[in-house]
Structure formats: structure tokens, C-alpha cells
Amino acid sequence: MTRESLLDPTAESTPSERVQLARPDSLDGLTVALLDISKPRGDVFLDRLSEHLERRGAAVRRYRKPTFSKPAPVDLRHEIADQCHVVIEALAD
Amino acid sequence: MGLVAVVKHDCATCQTVAPVLLELARRTDLTVYCQDDPEFPAGLEVTDDTDLAVSWHHSIETVPTLIAVGSDGERERTVGWSIEQWRRITGLDDLAGDLDIPSQRPGCGSLSVDPDLIDELRVRHSGSTLRARRLDLAEMEDEFEYMHRVGWSDGLPLVPPTESRVLAMLEGTTRSPEELVAVVPPDLVDATVEKVAISAVMAGCRPEHLPWVLTAVEAACNDEFNMHGLLATTMPVGPVIICSGPGTRDIGMDPGVNALGQGNRASLSIGRALQLLVRNLGGGRPGGVDRATHGNPGKLSFCFAEHSGPFGSLASSRSDLDESVDAVTVFAGEGPRCIVDQLSREPESLATSLAENLRMMHHHKLAMAFDAVLVLGPEHLRVFTDAGWDRSRITEELMSRLQLPYDDIVRGAGGIAEGIPAGLGLETLPKFQPGGLMLAHAGGGAGLFSMLIAGWVNGDTGSKPVTRAVQY
């Protein structure tokens, strides 16, 4: 059974999505999520990116959302937020 | 005319009437819905109602229920099995004449009112009536931490406002979810019954508390009470909710031992619901519009019930509401403090004692600008009532002892810069404006104490207390 939604107690005048954090000055010691949106050859781009990031001292974790045509599932977003400091979402085509 | 029967297999009475249903299917236009087994009764074409949608929408409380339906909808129904009633509704005088079954038998509970299922059914079938935005959390996300993170909390854990909880809360009122209750400061946002119910869930209320919360919201969110100013002030004040009437006992409030303290769910959750509404819907938060220098713990929740009895209630003393009417009075007040007098047994001595303490309120050289609620403990009140002093006599006696000599309170007097401006040409000034000293009655039976709740700036520039009858 999926968990029940919560009803918003606020005036709903701000977006429910969370605000982006400021960009870090350095990637040193941070964990970077690479999110593959499941477009063809996006993985090629992300593979190269991963190499560069690791050379700069960042830990890299790879994720993939089921389809590029829909937003990433809430569980995947939570997993990334929980495990990583920074996320790079790869576009392709 | 058609007939509709709602049954469940796990019901002895439904099994008893199964042959009657077979007979009705042969002789009439019968539709059978079964709540737990689409194969029951055997030999009939049964409509599956295992999702209980039909049962819910037709308010089935007992099975079997037999309903006579005309072109204009339901005409009448009977519940359980009674040969007499079934014959009357079907118009078949010989119904079940050949069957060897008892002439009557009570039915069983419908699954659609099963306490284990009703919350889920309410969401499934009534959820669409709610308009608030739905927020989906990840499966692994801690909802309690989420509510803190998004700023909904007053610092303590909240009950997650799920649809099923909010719908259950709305059962506490006859008002419809979309009805406007008040415009909530500081952002001046429309508070619907639904939004108030969401706050009530988060605060920990039960449905029977909701009418009190709704009334407190109406009483607090208006120009007279000036919730905006109360929020914005640097003084340590918040809305104090004083509840009167027999309904306070019905919802579990206790005006006795520890009346102003912890441990009573009704009192604390009603007060908290109002504050959470102002915080989350109105947008009033500490450091934002709330500029309190210190605040006070009562800003989490400050709500209590009064004793009933011949002394009367604060609500009836300041409105035309009868004692028997459930009512809410909101007062802009700070935390309570105790006035001890364990020796006065004469009313004059106690009045003087209380007055000396009241004079100290906020500052002994300030007068007229602030109201107060004096919560008389039962043992203090008895000193007065044994001497035949009623509410107005007590108030008069206190006020007569609170005429402050102007020379003592003028700015600079006593080497203290604080005080009343010079040059007013007065001999005395009363500590309180007329009506500014209000009496309430609460507390446990032992203890010669009273409690002073000091107010915020009164009148047009500040806040006026508001009393409202509870709307159910």
C-alpha cells in the first residue's frame, strides 16, 4: 500500500517543490549524483563526466529514472537527496 | 418498482434470507449487492460490492438491507429480516410463505461502517471534496522530520494531516469543508473549514474539538481582537482561549486540578490548532511578523475551561450569552503567574491582597493601557462568595483598591523614568480601564491561590477580548 498524501496546511502560495541549494564552491569530498534520464546515449556522456569528477576528488553515484518523459519518481529523488550532495541530470539527443 | 438488497456472506441473517432473495429474484425486479462474496447467495446474479462503493453511497449500516426503489429513487428500506416488513415493502403478502425460517431476525453490521475500514472508505469516496494541495512523500522519508523541515511545526511533533485524518476531523462539524471561517493574518489568507481541520489534525485534536477550534479562529481573526498586532508585538503575548459552558466537559476539558497546565488533550490541542493555523496558513512566524522579544510558552497553546456554578462564566459576564451556551472568549495575554495569599479569610483582606499584586502587573507605574484576566482559584473565590460577594462586587472592590495616586506613577517619580506622562492634572488614575479587569474561575479545590494573566495593549490600538458562542 502506498503511503497517504499529506494535505497542505499553508496558503499554498509557494511551490511545494523544494528550493535548490546554492552551488558548492568545490566538489572536494562531496558525493555527486549522475542522473541518467533514460535517453539514448545519455550514459556515454555521463561516463565521461564521471571520469572527470572522480579525477577532481568527488565521489560519484549513478542513478537512472525509468523514463525521460516523466519527472523522476519521488522515491528516487529522495534517495538521491539522501545519499548525495550534488546532482547532475544528463540530457541527451 | 424495483428492489435492491445489500447482503454479506459472513452474516447469519443474510444466510437465513438467501432463499427469500431467490424467491424475490423469480417474482420481482431484484438487484443484489454482496459486500464480501460475489458468489453469495448461490444461484443468483450478484453484483460485486466488495469495494463497498454502493454500500457507502447508500449509507448501508446493517445487512441485510432491502430497499424499494421507484423512478424517483429510494422509496423506503428495511434492515435485518422481518417477514412482516419485507412483505410490506415488496407488496407480496405471501412472501416466504413456503419457507421454514424464523419470522424475524436482527441483521449484522455492514462492512461499510466497520471501524477498521471507515477511514479508508471515507477517503476513497469523499476525498475529492477536499481542496488542499496533496503533498507526496517518498516511501522512506520520515514524515515527522519532513513536517519540521518544511516549517509547519511549532517546535513539537505534529500529527501528519492525511486525508483520512482530515476527513475524520470534519465529521466533528456540520459545516462544509469549503465554508469560509475567517481571514487569517498576517498574510490575510482565507481559512476554510478544511484548512482549520488540517491544523486541528496537526495539533492533535479529536473531531469533537473542531467546533471549538473553529469558534476560536473566528473570535481571534478579526479587527477587534487584532491577531495581527498581537503577533507583531514585541510583548510576550498570544491568544488565550477561555472556554465556558457544559460542552467543555463533554469534550474532556477539566477546569479543576492543573487547569492551566499540561496533560489535557482538549485544552492543549484546541489552543495549539489556532496557533498552527496562524503560523502555517496566516504565515505568522517568530522572526517573521512575530517580533516577540521573549515570547512565552503559552504561545504553543494557552486554552482552559472555566468552572460552572453560581459565580457565572467570563463569557456570560461580558456578553448576552446564557450560562448554558458553550462559548469561547479570546484574550490577548501573556503567561499566567500565581498570586499567593494563604491567610486572608475576610474578603476585604483578600481583595486588598489581590489588588496590591494586580497593581504590579507589567509595571507598577503603568495604568489603563493593559487589561487583565484574574483567574480566581476555588479557595480564593470561596472567601468572597461566603461573604456574599458576587462577580460585580468583587470587581468593584478590586477596582476601588486600584486607584493609583498620580504623583506616585508620574514619570520620574520614585527615581524611575517609566510612568505616566506628567502634566495631566490628575489626582488618581485607575490601574484598569472600565471592564479591563475580567474574572474567571478555574483551578483545583485545594490551594489559596489565584492566577493573573496580564494583557497586551487594550482598546482600538491593541486588542479587545472577543466572546463567541460555539457553532456546532
- DSSP secondary structure string, A15-53? -SSPPPPPPPS--TT-EEEEEE-S-TTHHHHHHHHHHHH
Q: Most A CBs within 10 Å: which of B139, B145, B165, B180, as the mutation test of the A interface?
A: B139
What pLDDT is attached to residue B224? 95
- The enclosing H or E element of B329 equals strand B327-340
What pLDDT is attached to residue A28? 86
What pLDDT is attached to residue B363? 97
Give the Å distances, CA to CA, from B132 to A13, B167, B205, B317.
12, 12, 19, 39
**Interchain proximity A16–B198, CB inside 8 Å:** no
* Cα B260–Cα B263–Cα B264 angle in degrees, nearest 5: 75
Measured CA to CA, the distance from residue B304 to residue B261 in angstroms comes to 9
- Pairs across A and B, CB distance < 8 A: 80
Burial of B325 (0-12, 13-18, 19+ CB in 10 A): middle
Name chain B contacts of A5, Cβ cutoff 8 Å: 134-137, 162-163
Measured CA to CA, the distance from residue B19 to residue B42 in angstroms comes to 10
Query: What is the number of H-type helices and E-type strands within chain A?
Result: 2, 4
Peptide bond into B41 cis (omega under 30): yes
Q: Which of B135, B161, B187 sits opposite A11 (nearest CB)?
A: B187
Measured CA to CA, the distance from residue B407 to residue B414 in angstroms comes to 9
Measure A39 CA to nearest chain B CA, in Å: 24
Peptide bond into B64 cis (omega under 30): yes
Q: Which of A3, A9, A13 sits opposite B139 (nearest CB)?
A: A3
**Interchain proximity A3–B137, CB inside 8 Å:** yes
Burial of B169 (0-12, 13-18, 19+ CB in 10 A): buried
Q: Most A CBs within 10 Å: which of B144, B149, B150, as the mutation test of the A interface?
A: B150
Greatest Cα pair distance, chain B, in angstroms, is 105
Q: Tell me the pLDDT tens digit for each residue of B279-323.
A: 999 999 999 999 999 999 999 999 999 999 999 999 999 999 999
Burial of B105 (0-12, 13-18, 19+ CB in 10 A): middle
What pLDDT is attached to residue B75? 93
Q: Which of B133, B277, B282 sits opposite A12 (nearest CB)?
A: B133
Q: Most A CBs within 10 Å: which of B120, B124, B128, B133, as the mutation test of the A interface?
A: B133
Range B364-368 average pLDDT? 97
Domain ranges of chain B: 2-114, 144-466
Q: Which of A9, A11, A77 sits opposite B199 (nearest CB)?
A: A9
A82 touches chain B (CB under 8 A): yes
Name chain B contacts of A11, Cβ cutoff 8 Å: 187, 189, 281-283
Range B80-85 average pLDDT? 95
Q: Which residues pair with B105 in a beta bridge?
A: B81
Q: Most A CBs within 10 Å: which of B117, B120, B131, B135, as the mutation test of the A interface?
A: B135
Measured CA to CA, the distance from residue B14 to residue B107 in angstroms comes to 7
Q: Which of residues 14-73 of A touch B (CB under 8 A)?
A: 16
**Interchain proximity A6–B161, CB inside 8 Å:** yes
Of B34, B59, B58, B65, the closest CA to residue B47 belongs to B34
**Interchain proximity A79–B138, CB inside 8 Å:** yes
* Cα B348–Cα B314–Cα B205 angle in degrees, nearest 5: 135
Measure A78 CA to nearest chain B CA, in Å: 6
Q: Tell me the pLDDT tens digit for each residue of A57-77.
A: 899 999 998 887 777 888 898
Q: Which residue of B has its CA nearest to A6?
A: B162
* Cα B39–Cα B103–Cα B15 angle in degrees, nearest 5: 15
Range B403-420 average pLDDT? 97
**Interchain proximity A12–B276, CB inside 8 Å:** no
Name chain A contacts of B160, Cβ cutoff 8 Å: 6
Per-residue pLDDT band for B438 (boundaries 50, 70, 90) equals very high
Tell me the DSSP string of B138-190.
Answer: PTTS-HHHHHHHTT--SSS-----BHHHHHHHHTT-SS-TT-EEEEETTTTEE
Of B52, B39, B43, B42, the closest CA to residue B6 belongs to B52
Name chain B contacts of A4, Cβ cutoff 8 Å: 123, 162-164
Q: Which residue of A has its CA nearest to B194?
A: A9
Range B165-170 average pLDDT? 96
Quick check: A27 pLDDT over 50?
A: yes
**Which residues does B423 contact at the CB level (< 8 Å), separation at least 6?**
none
Q: Most A CBs within 10 Å: which of B147, B178, B190, B195, as the mutation test of the A interface?
A: B195
Range B182-186 average pLDDT? 95
Of A15, A50, A16, the closest CA to residue A32 belongs to A50
What pLDDT is attached to residue A14? 80
Q: Which of A11, A16, A75 sits opposite B281 (nearest CB)?
A: A11
**Interchain proximity B161–A13, CB inside 8 Å:** no
Percent of chain A whose predicted confidence (pLDDT) is above 70: 91
Q: Which of A7, A9, A74 sits opposite B130 (nearest CB)?
A: A7
- Is the sign of the CA dihedral A65, A67, A73, A75 positive or negative? negative
Average pLDDT value over all residues in chain B? 95
Regarding predicted confidence, which is higher, B343 or B130?
B343
Q: Which residue of B has its CA nearest to A4?
A: B162
SS3 label, residue B414:
helix
Q: Tell me the pLDDT tens digit for each residue of A3-26.
A: 889 999 999 988 776 667 788 888
Per-residue pLDDT band for A1 (boundaries 50, 70, 90) equals very low
Measured CA to CA, the distance from residue B199 to residue B220 in angstroms comes to 15
ipTM over 0.85: no
Which CATH superfamily does the domain covering B2-114 fall into?
Answer: Glutaredoxin (3.40.30.10)
Measured CA to CA, the distance from residue B198 to residue B219 in angstroms comes to 19
Q: Which residues pair with B214 in a beta bridge?
A: none
Name chain B contacts of A2, Cβ cutoff 8 Å: 139
Name chain B contacts of A75, Cβ cutoff 8 Å: 138-140
